[in-house]
Every structure is written in C-alpha cells, then in structure tokens.
Amino acid sequence: MASLFTFENLYRAYLDCRRKKRGKMAALAFEVNAEQYLLELTRELAGRSYRPSPSFCFVAKNDKHREVFAAEFRDRVVHHLLVRRLEKIWEPVFIHDSYACRKGKGTHGTVERLRSFTRKVTANDTRRAWFAQLDIRAFFPSIDRKILLSMVLSRLQNEELRWLSETLIFHDPTTDPVFTCSPEKWRDVPPHKSLFSVSFGKGLPIGNLTSQFFANVYLNALDQFVKHTLKVRWYIRYVDDLVLLDRDRHTLQRWTEEIGTFLQNTLKLDLHPNRRIIRPVSNGIDFVGYIIRPSRLYIRKRVAEKCKTAITDQTKGMMKRRNDCVSMVFMPGACHKLYCTLNSYFGAFSHASCHRLVQTIFTKNLPLRTMFKNKEFKVIKRWSPPFRSANLYTQYRFFRARFRGLLLFQVGCYLEMYDKDALWAVKHLGMKRIFPRKGFYARCGISMKRLKAFSKKLAGQHAMYVFQTGRMHGRILERVAVRMDYCDKSMKKANNQ
C-alpha cells in the first residue's frame, strides 16, 4: 500500500489548508519556503519523529467566552492530511442528519433539514407536535481521549493513520502554549470549560480541524443509538446540540432520559441540566442562529442586535454636523470593512423573513444609506464604479450621474474640478482656469496641500471629494468617493433615491 507520508499528499493538504487563508501572515510565512517546510514535514512523518508545535492560546468571545487553541500552520497542514483520509473512511458511517464540519452540510443545510422535519411532524402546520432540544455540557473539554482513540482505531488498518491519529489525539495543547491575549480574559472562562482545569486524558482543543472531525466520530455512537435503538424518526445534530421531534411529549421526555443515561455510561458526557427544552413546535426552535417554524424562518434576535451594534460601531465618527451642514467621511478601508460586515450579516438574513429588519437598519443609519444600496439582501457600493474605467472622463461621468453638487477629483498631487464646477469655481472662488483634459471643456484645480483651507471655502456647498486608492482599475487609477458635504434636505433626499 502506498505511503500516506509523501510530498505529493502533503502538498495537496497544504493547498487545502491555505484555501481562503492565503493572505494571512501564517500562510504567507509558510509559503515563502513552502517546499522546504513540506520536505521537512515529510521526513518527520515518515521517520515517526513528528511532534505538534506549541499552540497559540487565546480567549474568543462570540455569544460566550471560549478558550481557543490555534495550531501552527505546519500542524494545520498535517491536520488536513489526516482528516482528508479519515473522511473517506467515516463518511459512509455517519448518519445523514449530522451536519457539523461535513462537506455539503453546514448551518443552512441544518436549517432547511429541520424546517422539513417541522413540516412533516406537524403535517404542514395542521397538527400539534413537540420538540426536545438538548445540549451536552462542556462537550469539547469533556471528551475522553482513550474512548475516542479506540473509536478511531476500530476502523483503521493502516499503521501510518493509526500512529498519526494517536499522536494528534494525545497531544496536550496546554504544554507550553503561546498566549496571545491578556491572562485576565481567562476569568470569563468557566473552569469546567478550560483545558487547563480538566483531568489528564480529557478534552480536545477548540479551534483545530481535527477536533471538529473527532467530535463527529465521538458522537457517532450517540447518533446510531438515537436512530437505531430509540428509532427516533426526526432527529438532527449540529456539534453538541441535538433536536428531536415527535407528536407525543411523553415520548420526548423518555428519549431525553435514555439519551442522558447513554451519554453517561458510554461516552462519559452529561446533558446540560438547564438546557433540556421540550416545547411545542409552534413556539419556534432556536437553532444555529435562526428561529425555525414550519411556515416561517426568523433570524435570532441576538444576531440582529449584534449586526446593529457592529454597524453603529463602524459608522461612529463618519458623520459630523455643523449648524445646517453635514459632512460624511468614508475612507476606503473603513468603507470596505463595513461592506464586508453588511454582506456577511445580510447573507444570513436572506434565508429568513428579514426584509423589514434590513429596511429598518438602512432607514435609521444615514451614513449607511449614503454609502450603500441594498438590492435583495446584497449590499452595493454607491460611490465605487463597478466597472473598469477606460479613462478619467468615464469615472467622472459615473459620479456626475449620481451627485448633483460639486465634484472634486484627485489627480496625483492635485484636486481638480471640471466643466460647470470649474466655471463656478473660477467665477465665485477666483480660481485660475487651466487647459482642459480630454473629454472636458473646462478645468481648474489646487494642490492637495491646500485641501483643508479650500474645503472651508466650500462651506455651505454640496460637494463630493473623489480620491485615488492607489490601485489600478483597468488602465487607470481607481477612484472612490471619500467625503460628502451637503446642507439641506433636498440634497440629502436626492442622494438617497
């Protein structure tokens, strides 16, 4: 049988590992000498001398504080190498309705599957039905590594796979980790959820690909028990969150007790005592960020509030008011970050009934609706040309068609005005008219060094400042709007259409 530890296999694992992360510092540092690093890994693995490097340890906060151990990039390559092979062995074993960390599954697949369950159990919302929602207490820190290893090895004949699986499962990430956040943050992590507090031989680190895959292997015994022993028809699991549906509440209560007993006796795990929920399906199932009902799907309130908070934080300071005038500054970096945030949240909102929520978000945030347009949950930048401009005149026409006030364009070290704007500046500001560029009939300008003083002269005027980003956009430098001034409601209304 061909060896697993070859340069070709490691190179494929490296390509998988860097996918969508090629711009990260760790990936870039590895890529500089990728061939040398991969050859070293090949020799270490083939000689059975490979040992994982110290992990980076920090506390992450999403809805709760979590202790995370992030492996070095070289170790992540090895993780991909192992999981790539183990998936082929274990995928046929897993039940269909286990949805975490599996190709073609994910959160949206989970939601659609659970919605189909709710429609079936309620006969399209015409019959009363119940659901039980269960959560395993401190799942990752409570995994017994000996039990896990016996499960993994039970289906492995290849000695290389067996050795590497054992090496990674029994690696202790708490040995000499590199702490990348303040030690004070560990005060927010409950002791029973920290690997520094668990007993020897317990726990897998949150943050590694292998941990996510091994979690599915560990709970596969539970999945098989629920489907084949309890014979639950409507059951779905996402990591350590379980949902069971039935038309009889007492049946769900019995299943809950039997699942709790099975977890304790077989996997040495416990159900969370405060998260054993049995309610009518009509109440909605709060699962993977959504509230799921047979006929409707809503976003979780906490997710909506996080979106609003993120938008408020990122738009803070963008708008300044002085008397009747408003000045908005949206630099390309901050604008793009907000653009990514919006598209991320709106992508999740697009699967649910959230049209009114999105409208409210745009209505209540002036900088937001000034910078962007919303089209069917897709955010579009108002002041960044979506096409490759052939010349400066093409860029100017894009902004001219969308803004009625004065346009000021950065061209190198100068700020220029064209056509009717240039004629107005010559007449009212005493600026000198200069030879026009191709496509224009008038031009005037000032040095960028005089921008601050010149902007004061334009106080009370509707003006937009269009600056260069430094990137090429076709055959010309890319330009985007970075500042907008307006002073009455009519202009504000015109630019919100």
SS3 per-residue string spanning 259-275: HHHHHHHHHCCCECCCC
Question: Which residues touch 134 (CB under 8 Å, ≥6 apart)?
Answer: 241, 242, 243, 244, 256, 259, 271, 272, 275, 276, 277
Contact call for residues 56 and 180 (beta carbons, < 8 A): yes
Q: How far apart are CA 454 and CA 446, in angstroms?
A: 8
Residue 426 lies in a domain: yes
The answer on 273 and 140 residing in a single domain is yes
Check residue 263 and give its pLDDT: 97
The answer on 155 and 51 residing in a single domain is yes
Check residue 57 and give its pLDDT: 93
Q: How far apart are CA 244 and CA 237, in angstroms?
A: 9
Q: What is the mean pLDDT of residues 439-457?
A: 91
Q: How far apart are CA 354 and CA 342, in angstroms?
A: 14
Contact call for residues 5 and 43 (beta carbons, < 8 A): no
The answer on 284 and 352 residing in a single domain is no
What is the token pair recorded at 122?
Answer: 């309620």
Residue 321 lies in a domain: no
Closest CA to 231 of 352, 95, 424, 345: 95
Count of residues for the chain?
A: 497
Q: How far apart are CA 373 and CA 46, in angstroms?
A: 55
Element (H, E) at 85: helix 73-90
Contact call for residues 377 and 347 (beta carbons, < 8 A): yes
Check residue 460 and give its pLDDT: 81
The answer on 349 and 464 residing in a single domain is no
Q: Is the pLDDT of residue 400 over 60?
A: yes
The answer on 273 and 374 residing in a single domain is no
Q: What is the mean pLDDT of residues 487-497?
A: 50
Question: What average pLDDT does the structure give for the chain?
Answer: 91
Q: Is the pLDDT of residue 465 over 70?
A: yes
Check residue 470 and give its pLDDT: 87
378 phi and psi angles, rounded to 5 deg: -110, 125
Question: Which residues touch 106 (CB under 8 Å, ≥6 apart)?
Answer: 99
Closest CA to 4 of 101, 15, 12, 153: 12
Q: How far apart are CA 390 and CA 396, in angstroms?
A: 11
Residue 1 lies in a domain: no
The band of 494, judged by pLDDT with boundaries at 50, 70 and 90, is very low
The band of 2, judged by pLDDT with boundaries at 50, 70 and 90, is confident
Q: How far apart are CA 116 and CA 118, in angstroms?
A: 5
Residue 397 lies in a domain: yes
From residue 242, give the alpha-carbon distance in Å to each of 131, 140, 389: 10, 15, 53
| Percent with pLDDT over 70 in the chain | 98
Element (H, E) at 327: strand 325-329
Backbone CA torsion sign across 457, 459, 464, 467:
positive
Residue 490 lies in a domain: yes
Which of the two residues, 64 and 412, has the higher pLDDT score?
A: 412
Residue with tokens 């303040």: 182
SS3 state of residue 54: coil
Closest CA to 305 of 141, 63, 468, 50: 63
Highest mean pLDDT among 20-29, 54-63, 124-133, 362-371: 124-133
Q: How far apart are CA 418 and CA 496, in angstroms?
A: 24
The answer on 122 and 235 residing in a single domain is yes
Q: What is the mean pLDDT of residues 111-138?
A: 95
Residue 387 lies in a domain: no
Q: How far apart are CA 474 and CA 463, in angstroms?
A: 27
Number of domains in the chain: 3
Residue 2 lies in a domain: no
Q: Residue type at 329?
A: V
* Other C-beta atoms lying within 10 Å of the C-beta of residue 279: 15
Q: What is the mean pLDDT of residues 72-98?
A: 95
The answer on 446 and 306 residing in a single domain is no
| Angle ∠(280,282,288) on CA atoms, nearest 5 | 90
What is the token pair recorded at 218?
Answer: 């560990």
The predicted-structure confidence for 246-277, as pLDDT tens digits, reads as follows 999 999 999 999 999 999 999 999 999 999 99
- CA 179, chain centre distance (Å): 23
Write the CATH number for 418.
3.40.1170.10
Q: How far apart are CA 288 and CA 240, in angstroms?
A: 11
The predicted-structure confidence for 280-297, as pLDDT tens digits, reads as follows 999 999 999 999 999 899
Residue 376 lies in a domain: yes
The answer on 371 and 286 residing in a single domain is no
The predicted-structure confidence for 293-337, as pLDDT tens digits, reads as follows 998 999 999 999 999 999 999 998 888 887 777 888 888 888 889
Check residue 489 and give its pLDDT: 52
* Other C-beta atoms lying within 10 Å of the C-beta of residue 344: 13
Residue with tokens 């995370």: 68
Crossing angle between the packed helical segments 301-315 and 355-363, to the nearest 10 degrees: 20
Range of the domain at 434: 392-495
403 phi and psi angles, rounded to 5 deg: -140, 130
The answer on 155 and 287 residing in a single domain is yes
Q: What is the mean pLDDT of residues 42-60?
A: 94
- CA 167, chain centre distance (Å): 31
Closest CA to 445 of 411, 397, 472, 482: 411
The band of 488, judged by pLDDT with boundaries at 50, 70 and 90, is low
The answer on 144 and 35 residing in a single domain is yes
Check residue 1 and give its pLDDT: 58
Q: Residue type at 190?
A: P
The answer on 276 and 304 residing in a single domain is no
Closest CA to 368 of 395, 388, 345: 345
What is the token pair recorded at 490?
Answer: 């009519």
The answer on 455 and 341 residing in a single domain is no
Q: How far apart are CA 394 and CA 272, in angstroms?
A: 62
Check residue 208 and give its pLDDT: 93
